[in-house]
């Protein structure tokens, strides 16, 4: 056989494999993993994926019981937060969280899609991120309203209990900042403290329940979390980046978000993750900080 004929035979033999690879690409086997936000179109295409878990997070069940994404399961913030002494809204122990999410059908594979009220949803995202699951978690952009508008199935019927799974967690303690860590980094130019409360709470001109001394952590910058959303939807990345830049978040800086008890801080934590910033959440927030007499507070101006 001549060299030319041999090359021709080899080329013919390679055609099925090449065609299979092309078909694999065409069928979406190499579809990139979804990001931290997914569209309703993505969920419409993937809602029957194996191991997909959809969680509806709200403070109460009223909205869920009225109408929820078919197949979604309800979860309340009280299930993934605890009180430790005078400090409110803290992360529960990791084994308790592991058991909770196993009971909701979350295992070691599959995408986890969250929707509902912004703050319970972002607090839930932070909790899952802390457990090492963040790369598998997405928020449903537009929530149930956009889902319904796109023709997605909704129901008021309860979702059957999930089959319990086995979940392997990998807690990420570096995503948490505690009071002592913050105190030791108050003059660190590589750390930007973001107080995400209202300007009045930040200035200390508005009193807050469970905050012993009004004001803010010295050196913190104010970024009211409500400016990051438009209704139930986060603003576009360019707008969010502008907000962070105006708040003093330099490229590459480690951001630390806090509020009163760590709930509103989770919304800006999510924004920072969305934009690729290294970020920590101060879970104790002003509830803890202002209650410690050894820590400084920048109070109201005279």
Half-sphere exposure of 147 (CA within 13 A, CB side): 27
Amino acid 252: pLDDT: 87
Amino acid 232: pLDDT: 85
Amino acid 300: pLDDT: 79
How is 5-43 classified by DSSP, letter by letter? HHHHHHHHHHHHHHHHHHHHHHTTTTPPPP-SEE-HHHH
How far, in whole angstroms, is CA 164 from its chain's centroid? Answer: 23
Rounded Cα–Cα distance for residues 279 and 247 (Å): 15
> Is the pLDDT assigned to residue 13 strictly greater than 60?
no
Confidence class of residue 231 from pLDDT cuts 50, 70 and 90?
confident
Instruction: Indicate the class that CATH gives domain 174-289.
Output: alpha beta
The CATH T-level fold of domain 37-171 is Oxidized Rhodanese; domain 1 (3.40.250)
pLDDT in tens, 285-295: 999 999 999 99
pLDDT in tens, 34-62: 999 999 999 999 999 999 999 999 999 99
Question: What integer is the mean pLDDT of 195-223?
Answer: 97
Amino acid 24: pLDDT: 38
This prediction's pTM: 0.89
Do 37-171 and 174-289 come out as alike in CATH topology?
yes
> Is the pLDDT assigned to residue 136 strictly greater than 80?
yes
CA proximity to 204, closest of 123, 135, 58, 302:
302
pLDDT in tens, 162-179: 999 999 999 999 999 999
> Is the pLDDT assigned to residue 4 strictly greater than 50?
no
Q: How far is residue 293 from each of residues 145, 180, 273, 289, 296, measured CA to CA in Å?
A: 46, 13, 32, 8, 8
3-state SS, residue 256:
strand
> Is the pLDDT assigned to residue 2 strictly greater than 60?
no
> Is the pLDDT assigned to residue 281 strictly greater than 70?
yes
Pick 245 or 28 by higher pLDDT.
245
pLDDT in tens, 75-91: 999 999 999 999 999 99
Rounded Cα–Cα distance for residues 116 and 59 (Å): 9
Helix axes 118-130, 264-275, angle to 10 degrees: 60
Averaged pLDDT of the chain: 91
Q: Give me the residue spans of the domains in the chain.
A: 37-171, 174-289
Length of the chain measured in residues: 302
> Is the pLDDT assigned to residue 284 strictly greater than 90?
yes
Pick 250 or 157 by higher pLDDT.
157
Q: How far is residue 70 from each of residues 41, 62, 300, measured CA to CA in Å?
A: 15, 16, 49
Question: What integer is the mean pLDDT of 172-192?
Answer: 97
């Amino acid at each position: 056989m001549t060299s030319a004929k041999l090359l021709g035979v080899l080329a013919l033999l390679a055609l099925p494999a090449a065609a299979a690879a092309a078909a694999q690409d065409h069928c979406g086997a190499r579809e990139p993993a979804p990001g931290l936000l997914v569209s309703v179109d993505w969920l419409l295409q993937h809602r029957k994926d194996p191991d997909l878990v959809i969680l509806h997070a709200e403070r109460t069940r009223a909205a869920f019981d009225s109408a929820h994404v078919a197949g979604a399961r309800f979860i309340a913030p009280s299930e993934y937060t605890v009180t430790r002494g005078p400090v409110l809204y803290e992360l529960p122990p990791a084994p308790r969280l592991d058991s909770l999410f196993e009971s909701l059908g979350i295992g070691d594979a599959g995408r986890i899609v969250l929707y509902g009220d912004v703050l319970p949803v972002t607090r839930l995202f932070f909790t899952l991120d802390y457990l090492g699951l963040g790369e598998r978690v997405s928020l449903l952009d537009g929530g149930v309203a956009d889902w319904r508008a796109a023709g997605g199935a909704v129901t008021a019927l309860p979702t059957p209990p999930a089959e319990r799974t086995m979940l392997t967690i990998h807690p990420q303690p570096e995503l948490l900042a505690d009071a002592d860590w913050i105190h030791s980094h108050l003059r660190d130019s590589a750390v930007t403290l973001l107080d995400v409360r209202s300007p009045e709470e930040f200035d200390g001109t508005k009193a807050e329940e469970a905050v012993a001394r009004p004001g803010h952590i010295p050196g913190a910058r104010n970024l009211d979390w409500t400016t990051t959303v438009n209704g139930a939807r986060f603003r576009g990345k360019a707008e969010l980046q502008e907000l962070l830049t105006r708040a003093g978040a330099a490229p590459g800086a480690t951001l630390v978000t806090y509020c009163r008890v760590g709930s509103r801080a989770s919304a800006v934590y999510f924004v920072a993750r969305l934009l690729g910033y290294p970020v920590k959440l101060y879970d104790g927030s002003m509830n803890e900080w202002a209650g410690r007499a050894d820590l400084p507070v920048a109070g109201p101006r005279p």
